[in-house]
Amino acid sequence: MLEETRKWMGQVLELLLWIVAVLVLLQILFGSNVKEFFGIDVVGNIGDLVAKFGNAGLVGVIAASIIAYYIVKNRSNSGTDGGNDDQNMTTFS
């Protein structure tokens, strides 16, 4: 049951990351109209978050490094074949 909950939470997090990516893209493409339509300034909030990490000095750098490590670690382990895409690549000569 714990494994199912963990898998479900991972899928929810993946969905939220996609939503953030789409909102950032829309805000870049359409500007302030997206802020007014959705009622949230995603790019501004991300900028504020990065500024908070930057203002925290060494602790902020360490926290950002830990977060980035976990994101990269989870991305590399999320593939169906363990993240090894070399076996599926076709070479043309």
pLDDT computed for residue 88 by the predictor: 47
The tokens of 83 are what?
């993240």
Residue 53, CA distances (Å) to 23, 48, 57, 72, 88 in order: 22, 9, 7, 19, 39
Residue 13: pLDDT over 50: yes
- Note the pLDDT tens digit of each residue in 21-39: 898 899 888 888 888 888 8
User: CB burial class (10 A; 0-12, 13-18, 19+) of residue 42?
Assistant: buried
In which band, very low, low, confident or very high, does the pLDDT at 43 lie, cut at 50, 70 and 90?
Answer: confident
User: What mean pLDDT is predicted for residues 2-28?
Assistant: 87
Amino acid letter, 40: I
The tokens of 77 are what?
């382990």
Measure the CA angle with vertex 10, ends 74 and 86; round to 5°: 40
pLDDT computed for residue 83 by the predictor: 46
pLDDT computed for residue 78 by the predictor: 63
Q: What is the pTM of this model?
A: 0.55
Question: Does residue 28 contact residue 43 with C-beta atoms inside 8 Å?
Answer: yes
